[in-house]
Amino acid sequence: MKSPANPYVGPRAFVEDERLYGRDRELADLMDLLLAERIVLLYSPSGAGKSSLLQAGLIPAMKARGFTVRKVIRVNGAPPAGTAGNRYVMSVMASLQLEGRPADLSTLMLKQYLDAAPSGELLVFDQFEEVLTTDSVNLEAKRYFFEQLGEALRAQGRWALFAMREDFLAALDPYLRYIPTRLSNTFRLQLLSYEASLEAIREPAASVGVKFLDDAVKQIADDLRQVNVPQPDGSVTVELGQFIEPVQLQVVCLRRWEDLAEGSLEIPQSAQPQVGSTALADYYAATVAQVAAASGATERSIRDWFEHSLITKIRTRGQVLQGPQETDGLNNTAVIEPLKEAHLVNSEKRLGSWWLELAHDRLIGPVHSSNETWNRKNLSPLQREAELWRDQGKPEDHLLRKELLAAAEEWARTNKLNSTEEEFLRKSREARTLRRNIKVGAAALVLVLVTLLAWGLRKGATARLYAQQWVLSEVREAEAKRDTQAAREARNRIFFDLLSKVVKFPIEEVLNSDKAPGEVQPTDPAWVTLIGETGKPPFAIARAFGENSEGRVLAIGHEGILTYRDKDGGNDFVEVAMTWLRGAKESKIVLSAKPTDTVMIFPDFNLPALQTEFSNWGYQVETATDLSDPAKLDDAGVLVIGNSWGDFTPQEIDAITNFVNHGGGLLALGLGWSWRDYGPPPYHGPNPNPPPGQPIENYPMNKLFKEFGASWTVNLAK
């Protein structure tokens, strides 16, 4: 015996002449409100079944009461090419398709298009949030539409029902004044209650002579109402909620029916529960795979069509004009029609053309999630990276480099690329060529730099400064022409070479008064060692920081480097370091002057003298005792922290990290062993009895630099 036709609709909405179970009370209440108030706003969470309640419940019931119910109206239609009318008004007209109207609708006002003296006419606006999401920034067009709509609704013989998702309600506020009653009569449609869901599961099968056994009905309802509930201890428990999404229920029941043995008249409990959170994604994945296998189209091409044509960038449903034979390269007969038959895609005729869209907005999340999972499993690294590059707006810093680019080129030799992948690979190759050219230029520039500075060191401080400024001007000119990440990296290499090779001196010269340089240890491979004896811990390290490598950080193992002077009375290392740290930012330096900084505690550092020296180098110098103050850091180029022995507040750490992330430079000077032996408070010099085993992790500079991937140790860098 052949089983009856499947009575469950799946992910699409119910339509007229289909029985909607479990909503009798809501239908009666909504109809009473509409009859009494004339203009009603129906709203609900996504997936509650607004469209089903309208099409299979309210519309037939209002027709039975003698109302003239017009075709369901959507306001997201694209205006015909070459027309100058309001897109929302024209979309209403295109939905209604009233007879006896002129061919050119662009000059008509809405009240002119509608009957002049309506009597018992009902306009039903479904998915009315589309007036907000379609052409979202065209506020003037929206205002004009609501003015026209308000004029049309002043006719007392005209009723109107607006249905929309509840998360868009607040965005209607600017337009309510144009509508009679200001849409004050509202009805909230809740998700299906547990009791109603039992009816919605059992009765469709019973209507065709098949019994859904009680334990199977309860199993589905309980599976679909599971919710994760956070507990006070941080754990999560699974509990049974009060409500169920109708669209998930329909998909699960549809698939249970499809698994029914031929001729069977009972549906038993399943050994594999189908949880609602995955039912839609599973149904979509299975359908796409079946259609691809039957049609010969690639599964990726179908998934890409859903992802990029039927879903907009702001995660709303998009509409696609169906072609005569193919739609976006997919055969209408072999691919599009089976997707419509599976209720994943809806079609609607407007002004003589067929438009396609997702069958339900509740499908958007599951479709996107399924596509992401499939892409991770089936696409090559080149294909995945090309997709991400396109979705993020094709940024230069997401192009392939080094081994990834070489692997992509190898894969592309034996595989066909789509247009996005071809462009992505081409741009990656162009960027590689640019980097190689910059490297060659940087190497030549460093050679010039070495020669000039060698000459400058023989000729004295004036010549040396001239040589430095010449090289820096060359670097900045190169950056101005193309400030790409590759250019920034080339600049960093030039300065690193300068700091570590050209302006080089024994550590003892830097710290000739102390002879105890500390170690600063990188924990991130992005750091470059600038000063450090071979085989010994590093004393000075530097790195670029931030998403686009625009920020710069220099960490040094002793604050005494600030007071070092060479035989000419200068400090080449710090002067060149400050130029690198500043980058293209303002010439303002902020010196941390917290009372717990050693530059404030010990008289050797002479803070006013440091300020004077930085001023002589052309910088504007300010001090700050609160490093979370945005007024201090917003327009600064470099922040200098001279070995803080007092903790930074979380706000200060966030502000400093944000400053560097946005292109600022940070010069941090610390000394781990001195904090262990001389501190913590009261900061009066060497403690005769330092606390035993004071953990270096508590050193405030280390707490700050956890964000940057480095730490000061208690070891000496010599």
Exposure string for 294-320, b = 16+ CB within 10 A, e = fewer? ebebebbebbbbbbbbbbeeeebbbbb
Omega within 30 of 0 (cis) for the link into 680? yes
Q: Where are any strands of DSSP class E within 514-669?
A: 518-522, 528-531, 540-545, 551-556, 588-592, 620-624, 638-642, 665-669
The residue among 89 and 391 whose pLDDT is bigger is: 89
Element (H, E) at 246: helix 246-258
Share of the chain above pLDDT 90, in %: 34
The residue among 173 and 503 whose pLDDT is bigger is: 173
Contact 123, 73 (CB under 8 A): yes
| Residue among 435, 446, 568, 564 at smallest CA distance from 499 | 446
User: How far, CA to CA in Å, does 595 sit from each of 275, 588, 633, 672?
Assistant: 60, 22, 19, 18
Exposure string for 655-666, b = 16+ CB within 10 A, e = fewer? bbbebbeebbbb
Q: Could you give the CA distance from residue 523 to residue 708 in angstroms, rounded to a whole number?
A: 9
Rounded average pLDDT over 8-31: 93
Residue ranges in 70-127 assigned as alpha helix (H): 87-96, 110-113
∠ at Cα 542 (539, 528), nearest 5°?
Answer: 80
pLDDT at 203 over 90: yes
The residue among 517 and 680 whose pLDDT is bigger is: 517
What is the pLDDT, as a whole number, of residue 69? 97
| Residue among 91, 499, 603, 568 at smallest CA distance from 319 | 91
- Which residue in the block uniquely carries the two structure tokens 């990296």? 489
Over the stretch 37-65, which tens digit does the pLDDT of each residue have? 999 999 998 888 999 999 999 999 999 99
Question: Which one-letter amino acid corresponds to residue 348?
Answer: E
Rounded average pLDDT over 430-446: 61
What is the pLDDT, as a whole number, of residue 492? 66
pLDDT at 502 over 50: no
One DSSP character per residue, 59-80 reads: HHHHHHTT-EEPPPB-S-PPPP
Over the stretch 249-270, which tens digit does the pLDDT of each residue have? 998 898 889 888 888 899 998 8
- Which residue in the block uniquely carries the two structure tokens 């089903």? 52
Q: Could you give the CA distance from residue 518 to residue 176 in angstroms, rounded to a whole number?
A: 68
Cα torsion 466, 566, 560, 471 to 10°: value is: 20
pLDDT at 563 over 80: no
Over the stretch 285-327, which tens digit does the pLDDT of each residue have? 999 999 999 999 999 999 999 998 998 887 788 889 999 999 9
Per DSSP, the three-state class of 240 is strand
What is the CB neighbour count within 10 angstroms for residue 156?
11
pLDDT at 602 over 80: no
Least confident stretch, 26-40, 222-236, 385-399? 222-236
The residue among 82 and 56 whose pLDDT is bigger is: 56
Q: What is the CA radius of gyration of the chain?
A: 35
Over the stretch 98-133, which tens digit does the pLDDT of each residue have? 888 887 888 889 999 999 999 999 999 999 999 998
Q: Give the pLDDT band (50/70/90) at residue 714.
A: confident
Contact 152, 111 (CB under 8 A): yes
Q: Give the pLDDT band (50/70/90) at residue 236.
A: confident
Per DSSP, the three-state class of 159 is strand
Q: Which CATH number fits domain 38-190: 3.30.70.60, 3.40.50.300, 3.40.1160.10, 3.30.1340.30?
A: 3.40.50.300
- Which residue in the block uniquely carries the two structure tokens 């803080």? 644
What single DSSP character describes residue 555?
E
User: How far, CA to CA in Å, does 106 sit from each of 79, 252, 373, 597?
Assistant: 9, 45, 45, 72
Count of all residues that appear for the chain in the document: 718
User: How far, CA to CA in Å, does 20 sit from each of 50, 54, 195, 199, 345?
Assistant: 12, 10, 15, 10, 21
Largest Cα–Cα separation, the chain = 105
- Which residue in the block uniquely carries the two structure tokens 């917003």? 634
Q: Could you give the CA distance from residue 573 to residue 517 in angstroms, rounded to a whole number?
A: 16
Per DSSP, the three-state class of 55 is helix
Q: Where in the chain is the domain with CATH 3.40.50.300?
A: 38-190
Over the stretch 142-172, which tens digit does the pLDDT of each residue have? 999 999 999 999 999 999 999 999 989 999 9
Q: Could you give the CA distance from residue 31 to residue 325 in angstroms, rounded to a whole number?
A: 43
Element (H, E) at 330: strand 330-331
Over the stretch 649-663, which tens digit does the pLDDT of each residue have? 988 998 899 889 888
Q: Could you give the CA distance from residue 102 to residue 105 in angstroms, rounded to a whole number?
A: 7
Residue 688 structure tokens: 């005769």
Contact 557, 518 (CB under 8 A): yes
Rounded average pLDDT over 704-714: 90
Q: Could you give the CA distance from residue 268 to residue 271 in angstroms, rounded to a whole number?
A: 9
Contact 364, 316 (CB under 8 A): yes
Q: Could you give the CA distance from residue 316 to residue 131 in angstroms, rounded to a whole number?
A: 12
Mean pLDDT of the chain: 82
Q: Give the pLDDT band (50/70/90) at residue 495.
A: low
Question: Which one-letter amino acid corresponds to residue 411?
Answer: W
Q: Which residues pair with 212 in a beta bridge?
A: 267
pLDDT at 683 over 60: no
pLDDT at 571 over 60: yes
**pLDDT winner (highest mean) among 503-517, 525-539, 609-623:** 609-623
pTM over cut 0.75: no
Q: Could you give the CA distance from residue 517 to residue 191 in angstroms, rounded to a whole number?
A: 68
Q: Could you give the CA distance from residue 660 to residue 637 in angstroms, rounded to a whole number?
A: 9
pLDDT at 372 over 70: yes
∠ at Cα 474 (468, 479), nearest 5°?
Answer: 125
Over the stretch 659-677, which tens digit does the pLDDT of each residue have? 898 888 999 988 888 887 7
Share of the chain above pLDDT 70, in %: 81
Q: Give the pLDDT band (50/70/90) at residue 588.
A: confident
Residue 355 φ/ψ, nearest 5 degrees = -115, 140
- Which residue in the block uniquely carries the two structure tokens 């997709």? 387
Residue 353 φ/ψ, nearest 5 degrees = -120, 150
Residue 245 φ/ψ, nearest 5 degrees = -75, 125
Contact 198, 221 (CB under 8 A): yes
What is the pLDDT, as a whole number, of residue 605? 60
Rounded to the nearest angstrom, the gap between the alpha carbon of residue 198 and the centroid of all alpha carbons in its chain is 39
| Residue among 249, 200, 196 at smallest CA distance from 223 | 249
User: How far, CA to CA in Å, does 607 sit from each of 127, 398, 613, 669?
Assistant: 66, 43, 10, 14
User: How far, CA to CA in Å, does 495 sit from each of 399, 416, 650?
Assistant: 25, 43, 32
Q: In the chain, how many H helices and how many E strands? A: 27, 25
* Terminal Cα-to-Cα distance of the chain (whole angstroms): 91
Give me the helix-helix angle, 246-258 and 194-206, nearest 10°: 30
The residue among 199 and 106 whose pLDDT is bigger is: 199
Element (H, E) at 236: strand 236-240
Return the CATH fold of 279-378: Arc Repressor Mutant, subunit A (1.10.10)
